[in-house]
Every structure is written in C-alpha cells, then in structure tokens.
C-alpha cells in the first residue's frame, strides 16, 4: 500500500519529498485537475518569500527616502502649506486633498512640490525637520543595507553594526550640527532637525555649551575607538605592512563551520575566485575567523546544504591586516569577518637584506666564482710530453736473489746468528730481504753487522732496518745489480696520481715494494732536500715541480723560484706568466741574486701577513676554507678579497744563500716556515751541504719533512734526517724520505731536462696572465730613499688622478691604484713612488698601507696647483 502523501512530512528531508511530489504530479496528470495552493511564507531565510518581499520593500523605502529627502532640500519652503503642523501637517494627507489637486495636476500653486508628492513632503518634513535634520539621510543607507541583504542574500555591511553606527551617527550628527548651529541661529532648522535642536538646548541647559562640546568630542572619539580601536598613533599604524600568509599557517586545525554559516551565502567575491584574501589580525596570529567558526560544533543539516567542501578556499592566501580593521563579534552569526578584497594589491614586504641574503643574491646572480676564469682554456700538460725511461719492469734475476739470500744467511751464520725465515721484496733499485731471526738473537747484533754484510755481498748501499717498523722482522736492503729507472711518466700515469685529491701532490717515486709514492706538500708543510752533488737533487726538484704542474691550474699555484746556481731552474722561465711569482721590480722571475732573494723572502712574509689578514676578515682558519668561501661568495666584502693561489718557494741551493746572506735569509725563512702553512705558502729548500751551519736548528725545527739523497757522511745524514742511512744510499735518485716519524726509502722518479723543457714549452705557449704574479712590494733597508727624488717632468700622466684617489680613500696603497685605475703593478708602483717623492704619501711601512699626508681633496688640489706652477 502506498504511503500517504504527508505521512512523514514533518521530519522528512526535502530530498525525500521529491518522489511524493512526483506521485502527486502523476495523480494530477491522471485526474486532469490542477490544485492551486497559496505559497507558504515559511521562515526559511534562504528562500522565504516574505523575506524577499521585505527586502524589496526596504530597498524601495531607501529609494523613496532618497528622492523625497533630496527633493525636500529644494522644496521645503514651497510645501510649507502642507507640511507645517500649523497648516495641518499629517492631516493634510488624509483630509486635505481637494478636487483641485486631483483635477488640476499641473498647477504648482495647489499641489505639493516634493518630487514624491504630499507623502514625500510630509515624511521628509517629519524625518528632517521634526526629527534628525540632514542626518536623516542615513536612514536611506540603513534601508538599503537591510534591503540588499534580504533581497540579494549578499552582505554589504553587518546589519547589526550598520544599525548601531547609523543610529549613533544620526543622533550625534543631529546634535553636533545643532550645537554648531546654535551659535548662529536660535530656532530649529532642517539641518539639525527638532531632535537635534532640543537635545542641544537640553544639554546646554544642563552642562552648558562648553560641556556639550566636550561631550560631543568625547562621544566622537569613543566611537572611533570602538569602531577602529585607534591608538592615537595613526600615521604609524597606517603604514603598517600587510603581509600575506597561507591560511594553513595560522589555522592548522580543521575548520568547523556552523550550519548557519552554511545557510548564509558565501560572501566571497563573485567572478574572481582566484585571489581570496581574508583579513586576519597580524598581531594575534590565532585564527580569528576560525575561532569563531569553531564556537559551535558543526551540525550537518541535510535539509539545507550538504557540508561545504570549502577547504580549497582556506588554502588560498589570507591578508593579515592590523587589528583595527577587524571587528570581532562572535555572538553574531552573520558576522563572518571574511571580507574579501580582491582588488587590494598585495603589499610589498620590504626586508632588510642580511649579509647572507646579499651573498645568496650574488651567488644566484653570478654563480660560484670561477677562479680559472682568467685562463679558461688552459690545458694541463699532456702525459705524452713525458718519456718512458727504461722498461719500467723489475729485472732482478732469480739467481741474483738466490745468491744474495745465500750470502746474507752465510754472513749471519758466520756470526752465529740463525735465521728462521727470509723473504725478498724486489724494488726498483734495491731488494729488501726480511729475515726473522731465531728466538734469542739480539737485534743490535745484526745491526752491527751492516758493514760485514755489505762486504760479503760486495755491494754498496746496504741498509739494515732492525727492526722493520710494525713487522717484527729485520730488513736488509740490498741494491739490485741493474737498478730500474722510475720514469716520471710511469708515476703520473697511475690512477693513484690521477685520482689524488691532495692539494699539492708530489709524485716522489716508488717505494721499495714498488708502490707509487705520492706525498702532499700542503700537509708536509715544508720540505728540506739534501744530497751530495750528482745524487739526483736537481732531478728531485724537477720531479716536484713537474708533478705539481701536471695537477694545478695557473690560478691555483705560483712558484717563487730561487736558483743561486743560475742554471738549474732556468727551464721554468717560460712558465713565468702562468706559474711564477716575483717582486714587481724584478726583471727575471727566477731569482738568482742573493739581495733579491732577501727582498723576495721578506715580500713573501708580507704576503703571508696580508693573507692572514684576509683569512681573519673572512673568519676562516686556512687557505682551503678561505678559497671555498670566496668561490661560493660567502665572504661578506668580496671587493677586499681575492682568490689565493698556493705559493711554493723553491730554493735550489740554500747553502750558497746562507753563506752570503746568513741571518737575512734565515729569519724570513724561519718565519715563513713557522707560520705560512695555513695561508698556503710552502717551502722546498734544497742543499748540497746539510751541515749544521746551513741547516740551523731554527730551520730544522720548522721542516719536519726531509728528503735525503745520498750524502757523503753519516754526520750529514744525521743533520738532515736525524738518523743515519742517507750515507748508505746508492745515488741516482735513491733517497730517504722522513716525515718526522717514518723513514721511507724511495726511488725518485726521473724526469729528464728535455721533458721539463717540453712541459715548459707546452705551458708557456698557452695564453697566460699578462705578467708573473707580483708579490707585495718590499723595500729593503738603505734602498728606501734612493728612488724617491721627485721629478715633475718624469711624472706619470695619471699621477694627479692617483693622488686624488689616494686622498679620497685615505689609503696609500699600490693595490688600490692598481685596482681602481686598472693599472699594472709596475706602473702603480711607480706612481706610488712619485706620490711619495711629491710628499703626498708617506714612506713604505711593510704590510701596512702608507700614510696619506693630505687629509682632504681641497688641500690636495691646492698642493697640486703649486706643483704645476713653474718655479
């Protein structure tokens, strides 16, 4: 049996009614009758007809008032016959209509002049003249807001607030106008209306005109505080930034919407859904909106709308505004403080950039600093420039090994030393025989037999290592009958060298077990090389230089080459513009003159000090960190900084220097050796005679890494290595490398002069820097005054400009002139000399900038004028 029509009506959902209506419609169709039913005036705010009609009426009223009030301003005098109380007032509306008025509609004399007739005139008179004066115009606004809300379901302003503020304003304006007007006229006027006039009179009687004025000001300010919460620092608050943040930052919890919010039409802008901004208090980051929304739990009402899926809206940007723009009225359901301002441009948030931000900006703008940028096409020398010397194969015959073994065992047996085991490791020049003596044999006994074993083996250069560190054996190194040359190429070709991550890798050669040995000069940090003449020292130095040249870009490494013998390092002259550093005034980059060596060493000390200053400024501890920071543009003041290449000072014959210059050389070398490690300055000092007056205690103490070729005496060996053994070497690149703790026997890699020449040519023929790197200027004692004669005719054309630059910056430095005027070091140096001679800057003061003797440009200009005047 079908359910009766309205059986579940009261509690059923609308959706459930549909089928019933459908059934009803079917019935109607079937019977051919249509039943008419009056529309229901329910209280559904959404669809109620009554509400719509009320809205329409309210709007009509606002329009009516607008026309009537406006007309009243112009016609009130003509309409006095109808509207004044004495002439009948409202009675005229019902009783005063004459036949003339109806029949003679165009006669201005007998009808109301208000554009809305008598009603318009009477209403206007009531509101404006009798009651509130011109403030009555606010009723238009009130009716419009209410009507608009009821009819269009759209919210212009809060109705409650509109009513509150409007009513207050009407009363306030009316009384205020009356107050002001009372100083001019003494009878009621339509500007303030009867209410205003009599209220003012009442107040004047009670508290006097002054009191009334004060009260009005107080009320005005109170209202401003209530409405806008003004804090009397309006200019500041006005400029307050408005920031945009995503809503989810301020309202991380899910938002619950009360059902009335669902009923109320959303007041987000129509037509532009792209930008929705919600004013939220910037001071109180709590979700003002959501707080309110959460006051009532969400009650789904299927009769109305399904729960809104509005989350996307809340993912959109929300404008945070100062507090005073938000009106919190949580008790009012329709007071959702979501006012959408789609036209408001998003405020620009100006943020003071920190140093980091600037650096990041630089980095994003220019990328990391490319220190190779000056010579981008530079190619490392090819391995083909090196030759293969020898077969690079070990050619020790088994018979030789067997014979040597027998001789060792025999000799030891001869001295009643029994051996448990013997093992041979074949190296390029020597073979290491490791013996494990029988228990109870004293090691010192074997050690003392060194000469006897050498005699029985009829070989030079036998070295006994007793015990072998970390092995529990005794080692006897016996030279091979046919030593193998270790060519540089065979070392540089190895993966070990190719893949090394060392800062300054030195491919030294091969160990006794035939392994490639590479050491890092940056870690040593300085190297002392000694060896008698003809034992392979110069080849060793070439090996060091070549292994660095095969790894480093000219921007990363500079050599200062000191060659008192004048012939050894000349091969490297061709790489001057790439890899060499020198004093500005030095013609030749390879220093041979002792006096210049002293200046160069002192200049290196200045460079070292300057580098330390740079490191300190960049707040780093060593060159590597500094360069990394510089390259990544992390240094706050990049103008003052530069990429710092390693500097390797190589002195080929130190003994000669010590003999001629002594302390003058020793002191700067000791200073550099002590301090320069962190700033990337490393020393390689070679000497033929490792005597104590050459390698002094001060120098030795600062050179933990030592390389000994064959020396002539045990004493020399002790001087260089603090141990014997170097005198037992066999020469031709056989060497001992001491790192302080370890002593390693190596066969130095061999690189021949033509190979070095080819490498120098290869590098030298590539595009290089304009000149060698200039070291800081150093003027030795006694040299200072010699060049400082001022000669006006010999003045550089840029002399005056340089003088101004120096005075403006108050910094007497050559590098400033160089940098700002884009001059070479030589010319800048000459100009600074001329400035000194002219008395504009003070004398050279080592690493400090020279004093500038003119405090300002004006005094300088006057001085320059005197210089220009012929005597």
Ligand X SMILES: Nc1ncnc2c1ncn2[C@@H]1O[C@H](COP(=O)(O)OP(=O)(O)OP(=O)(O)O)[C@@H](O)[C@H]1O
Residue 504 DSSP code: S
CB of 480 to ligand X, least distance (A): 13
The order of strands in the sheet holding 280-281 is 243-246, 317-321, 280-281
Residue nearest to ligand X (CB): 733
Exposure string over 655-675, b if 16+ CB within 10 A, otherwise e:
bbbbeebeebbbbbbbbbbeb
CB of 762 to ligand X, least distance (A): 22
- Closer CB to ligand X, 208 or 754, in the complex: 754
Out of 750, 774, 825, 854, the residue judged to bind ligand X by CB under 6 A: 750
Binding flag, residue 754, ligand X (CB under 6 A): no
Binding flag, residue 208, ligand X (CB under 6 A): no
Out of 276, 290, 510, 537, the residue judged to bind ligand X by CB under 6 A: 537
Out of 71, 411, 480, 688, the residue judged to bind ligand X by CB under 6 A: 688
CB of 766 to ligand X, least distance (A): 28
Q: Which two tokens stand for residue 482?
A: 């046919």
CB of 630 to ligand X, least distance (A): 38
Out of 123, 262, 485, 555, the residue judged to bind ligand X by CB under 6 A: 485
Other beta carbons less than 10 A from residue 228's beta carbon: 15
Out of 176, 535, 599, 813, the residue judged to bind ligand X by CB under 6 A: 535
H helix or E strand, kind and range, residue 299 = none
Q: Which two tokens stand for residue 71?
A: 């007309």
Q: Which two tokens stand for residue 314?
A: 């809340």
Are the CB atoms for 303 and 13 separated by under 8 Å?
Answer: yes
Binding residues for ATP: 531-538
Closest alpha carbon to 792 in 834, 840, 745: 834
Options 92-100, 102-110, 535-543, 756-764: segment touching ligand X (CB under 6 A): 535-543
CB of 688 to ligand X, least distance (A): 5
d(CA 142, CA 161): 10
d(CA 508, CA 735): 10
Binding flag, residue 711, ligand X (CB under 6 A): no
Omega within 30 of 0 (cis) for the link into 780? no
CB of 531 to ligand X, least distance (A): 5
Out of 162, 166, 480, 538, the residue judged to bind ligand X by CB under 6 A: 538
d(CA 426, CA 405): 12
CB of 559 to ligand X, least distance (A): 18
Binding residues: 531-538
Binding flag, residue 733, ligand X (CB under 6 A): yes
Residue 640-679 contact track with ligand X, rule CB under 6 A, x = bound: ----------------------------------------
Options 58-66, 316-324, 526-534, 629-637: segment touching ligand X (CB under 6 A): 526-534
CB of 400 to ligand X, least distance (A): 20
Binding flag, residue 748, ligand X (CB under 6 A): yes
Out of 531, 680, 725, 776, the residue judged to bind ligand X by CB under 6 A: 531
Secondary structure tally for the chain: helices H, strands E: 33, 19
Binding flag, residue 319, ligand X (CB under 6 A): no
Residue 568-587 contact track with ligand X, rule CB under 6 A, x = bound: --------------------
Q: Where are the alpha helices (DSSP H) in 41-134?
A: 49-75, 80-83, 91-94, 99-103, 117-124
Count residues contacting ligand X (CB under 6 A)?
14
Residue 249-278 contact track with ligand X, rule CB under 6 A, x = bound: ------------------------------
List phi, psi (to 5°) of 178: -60, -40
Residue 174 CA: distances (Å) to CA of 66, 137, 139, 179, 352: 18, 11, 13, 9, 50
CB of 567 to ligand X, least distance (A): 9
Exposure string over 305-338, b if 16+ CB within 10 A, otherwise e:
eeeeeeeebbebebbbbbbbbbbeeeeebbbbbb
**In 3-state terms, what secondary structure has residue 207?**
helix
Out of 533, 619, 674, 859, the residue judged to bind ligand X by CB under 6 A: 533
Binding flag, residue 633, ligand X (CB under 6 A): no
DSSP β-bridge partners for residue 317: 246
Query: What is the contact surface with ligand X in residues (CB under 6 A)?
Result: 485, 531, 533-539, 688, 732-733, 748, 750
């Amino acid at each position: 049996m079908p359910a009766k029509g309205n059986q579940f009506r009261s509690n059923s959902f609308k959706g459930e009614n549909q089928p019933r209506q459908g059934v009803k419609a079917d019935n109607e169709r079937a019977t051919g009758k249509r039943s008419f039913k009056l529309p229901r005036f329910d209280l559904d705010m959404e669809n109620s007809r009554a509400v719509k009609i009320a809205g329409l009426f309210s709007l009509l009223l606002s329009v009516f008032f607008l026309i009537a009030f406006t007309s009243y301003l112009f016609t009130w005098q003509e309409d006095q016959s109808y509207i004044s109380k004495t002439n009948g007032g409202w009675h005229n509306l019902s009783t005063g209509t004459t036949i003339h008025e109806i029949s003679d509609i165009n006669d201005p004399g007998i009808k109301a002049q208000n554009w809305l007739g008598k009603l318009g005139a009477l209403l206007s008179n009531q509101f404006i003249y009798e009651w509130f004066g011109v403030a009555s115009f606010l009723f238009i606004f009130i009716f419009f807001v209410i009507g608009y809300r009821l009819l269009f379901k759209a919210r212009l302003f809060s109705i409650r607030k509109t009513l509150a503020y409007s009513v207050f304003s009407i009363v306030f304006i009316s009384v205020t106008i009356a107050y002001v007007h009372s100083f001019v006229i003494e009878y009621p006027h339509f500007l303030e209306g009867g209410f205003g006039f009599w209220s003012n009179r009442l107040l004047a009687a009670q508290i006097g005109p002054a009191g009334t004025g004060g009260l009005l000001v107080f009320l005005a300010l109170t209202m401003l505080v209530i409405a806008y919460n003004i804090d009397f620092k309006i200019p500041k608050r006005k400029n307050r930034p408005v920031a945009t943040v995503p809503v989810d930052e301020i309202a991380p919890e899910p938002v619950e919407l009360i059902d009335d919010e669902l009923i109320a039409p959303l007041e987000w802008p129509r037509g532009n859904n792209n930008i929705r901004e919600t004013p939220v208090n910037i001071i109180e980051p709590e979700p003002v909106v959501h707080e309110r929304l959460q006051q009532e739990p969400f009650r789904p009402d299927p009769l109305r709308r399904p729960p809104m899926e509005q989350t996307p809206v809340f993912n959109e940007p929300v404008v945070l505004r100062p507090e005073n723009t938000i009106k919190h009225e949580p008790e009012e359901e329709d007071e959702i403080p979501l006012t959408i301002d789609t036209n408001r441009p998003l405020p620009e948030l100006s943020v003071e950039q920190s140093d980091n931000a600037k650096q990041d900006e630089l980095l994003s703008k220019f990328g990391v600093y490319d220190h190779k940028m000056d010579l981008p096409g530079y190619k490392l020398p090819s391995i083909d420039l090196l030759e293969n010397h020898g077969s690079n194969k070990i050619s020790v015959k088994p018979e030789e090994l067997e014979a040597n073994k027998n001789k060792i065992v025999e000799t030891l047996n001869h001295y009643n030393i029994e051996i448990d085991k013997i093992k041979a490791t074949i190296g390029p020049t020597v073979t290491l025989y490791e013996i494990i003596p029988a228990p109870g044999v004293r090691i010192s006994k074997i050690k003392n037999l060194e000469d006897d074993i050498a005699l029985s083996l009829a070989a030079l250069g036998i070295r006994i290592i007793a015990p072998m560190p970390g092995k529990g054996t005794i080692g006897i190194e016996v030279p091979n009958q046919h030593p193998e040359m270790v060519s540089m190429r065979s070392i540089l070709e190895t993966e070990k060298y190719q893949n090394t991550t060392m800062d300054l890798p030195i491919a030294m050669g091969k160990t006794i077990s035939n392994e490639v040995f590479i050491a890092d000069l940056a870690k040593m940090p300085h190297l002392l090389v000694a060896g008698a003449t003809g034992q392979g020292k110069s080849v060793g130095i070439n090996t060091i230089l070549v292994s660095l040249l095969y790894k480093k870009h000219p921007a990363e490494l500079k050599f200062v080459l000191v060659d008192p013998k004048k012939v050894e390092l000349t091969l490297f002259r061709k790489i001057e513009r790439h890899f060499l550093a020198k004093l500005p005034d030095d013609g030749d980059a390879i220093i041979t003159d002792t006096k210049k060596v002293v200046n160069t060493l002192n200049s290196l000390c200045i460079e070292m000090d300057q580098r330390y200053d740079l490191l300190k400024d960049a707040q780093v501890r060593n060159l590597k960190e500094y360069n990394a920071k510089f390259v990544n543009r992390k240094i706050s003041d990049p103008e003052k900084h530069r990429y710092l290449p390693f500097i390797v000072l190589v002195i080929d014959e130190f003994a000669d220097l010590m003999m001629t210059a002594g302390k003058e050389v020793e002191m700067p070398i000791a200073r550099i050796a002590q301090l320069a490690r962190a700033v990337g300055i490393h020393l390689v000092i070679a000497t033929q005679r490792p005597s104590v007056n050459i390698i002094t205690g001060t120098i030795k103490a600062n050179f933990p890494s030592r390389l000994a070729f064959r020396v002539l005496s045990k004493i020399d060996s002790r001087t260089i290595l603090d141990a014997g053994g170097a005198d037992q070497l066999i020469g031709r690149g056989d060497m001992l490398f001491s790192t302080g703790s370890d002593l390693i026997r190596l066969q130095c890699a061999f690189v021949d002069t033509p190979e070095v020449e080819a490498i120098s040519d290869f590098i030298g023929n590539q595009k290089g820097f304009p000149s060698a790197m200039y070291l800081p200027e150093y003027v030795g004692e006694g040299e200072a005054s010699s060049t400082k004669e001022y000669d006006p005719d010999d003045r550089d054309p840029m002399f005056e400009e340089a003088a101004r630059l120096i005075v403006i910056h108050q910094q007497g430095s050559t590098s400033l002139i160089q940098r700002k005027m884009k001059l070479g070091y030589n010319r800048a140096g000459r100009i600074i000399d001329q400035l000194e001679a002219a008395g504009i800057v003070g004398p050279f003061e080592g690493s400090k900038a020279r004093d500038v003797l003119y405090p300002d440009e004006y005094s300088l200009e006057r001085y320059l004028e005197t210089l220009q005047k012929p005597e």
